[in-house]
Amino acid sequence: MEKEKNILTCVDCGTQNCKFKVRSYPEFCPTTNLDEGDLEWALERYDEGNNHKIMTASAEVEYEGYGHLTRVEEIMEFARKTGAKKIGIANCIGLIKEARTFAKILRANDFEPYSVICKVGAVDKSSIGIAKECENIGAAMCNPILQARLLNKIKTDLNVVIGLCVGHDSLFYKYSDAYATTLVTKDRVTGHNPAAVLYTATSYYKKLTPKD
Ligand code: SF4
């Protein structure tokens, strides 16, 4: 069967004219092919709930901290700007030390951190139908929905993810009532720097694009 032609999207664009505006837009550009209704719909959403406050604070943190505030500092600045005091930490057990350090920093900066670790509830993986062999690396399952529920009950103002597994993080974001951001993205192989694979994709990680 003939391979379907790749559909061109923003990753195939060489101009990024949506930012620069003095170049040209490619034919497949979603900006020039935009259904006006979609743009209006998105713009209207910024007036819903606290979305406008979040957008304003994000833009200010980006602008004021550009290139000199670390992500830890940016999260605290974002929290200050949005009035968030109770900070939920949804952390992986493998990053408990990092979570403790973050909590210490938060306390030193007058925030109230509340951590719920991934293994909370002490439920075995096989008890919810996960394959028994998955227990070979530990029987207790991660419980991102319970992490979210407990932080929701505390009514945290902002939740921060530290190293939840791929997919567990997806469930946490889905069930978290508070806006959630990520401090650490887990990558057990690269010391939690998943971008390392992208930076070395033409050398050490060439194996991921064997046909190039
Ligand atoms: S929106 Fe258009 S101009 Fe912007 S990156 Fe995508 S294709 Fe390029």
In tens, the pLDDT along 155-181 reads 999 999 999 999 999 999 999 999 999
| Residue 73: HSE in the Cβ half-sphere, 13 Å Cα cutoff | 9
Any ligand 1 atom below 6 A from CB of 34: no
Q: Which residues of the chain have a pLDDT value below 50?
A: none
Nearby residues of 115 by Cβ (< 8 Å), 6 or more positions away: 88, 89, 90, 91, 99, 103
Distance 33 CA to ligand 1 centre (A): 10
CA-CA distance, 71 to 77, in Å (whole number)? 10
Q: What is the pLDDT of residue 3?
A: 63
Q: What is the pLDDT of residue 1?
A: 55
Any ligand 1 atom below 6 A from CB of 25: yes
Secondary structure element (H or E) that encloses residue 86, with its range: strand 86-91
Secondary structure class of 157 (helix, strand, coil): coil
Atom of ligand 1 nearest to the CA of 12: 7
Distance 20 CA to ligand 1 centre (A): 10
Residue 29 in tokens: 């550009």
Distance 11 CA to ligand 1 centre (A): 8
CA-CA distance, 7 to 4, in Å (whole number)? 9
Alpha-carbon distances, residue 81 vs 59, 74, 77 (angstroms):
11, 10, 6
